[in-house]
């Protein structure tokens, strides 16, 4: 394969919902978590596949993925991308990696 034939990598913003598994590292009492990730790929489908694979290797149980597109696509939709977020995206691209930027555990609210 020549260099010209190699597709261009881009970074995609993904929100992954994970459920519980034994030894998943989530806080006690959490029912799951939402993870904001930046993942490189030649398209969003590849970024999703790579992210799900990495999270499974890390002992997590991915349930759902929401894609928000590339930084360019997000800016076109009016999203503000702070410098810190842009730096994490650049790192994901440079390292051809999945970066978990934020994890928010979910807890059931029992207002009963």
The one-digit pLDDT tens for each residue of the chain (112 residues) are 455 667 799 999 999 999 999 999 999 999 999 999 999 999 999 999 999 999 999 999 999 999 999 999 999 999 999 999 999 999 999 999 999 999 999 998 765 4
pLDDT of residue 1: 46
Given phi > 0 = left and psi -120 to 50 = alpha, else beta, which region is 42? alpha
CA 85 vs CA 13, 36, 79: distances in Å: 10, 11, 12
Three-class SS state of 48: helix
Residues in a beta bridge with 32: 106
38 touches 101 (CB < 8 A)? yes
The Cα 91–Cα 4 span in angstroms is 23
Provide the pairing of β-strand 32-41 with 98-106: antiparallel
């Amino acid at each position: 394969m020549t260099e010209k034939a190699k597709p261009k990598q881009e970074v995609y913003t993904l929100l992954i919902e994970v459920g519980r598994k034994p030894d998943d590292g989530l806080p006690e009492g959490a029912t799951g978590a939402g993870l904001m990730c930046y993942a490189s790929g030649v398209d969003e489908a590849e970024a999703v596949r790579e992210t799900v694979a990495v999270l499974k290797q890390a002992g997590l149980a991915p349930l759902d993925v929401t894609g928000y597109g590339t930084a360019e696509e997000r800016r076109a939709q009016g999203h503000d991308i702070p410098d810190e977020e842009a730096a994490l995206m650049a790192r994901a691209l440079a390292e051809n990696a999945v970066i978990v930027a934020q994890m928010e555990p979910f807890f059931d609210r029992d207002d009963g």
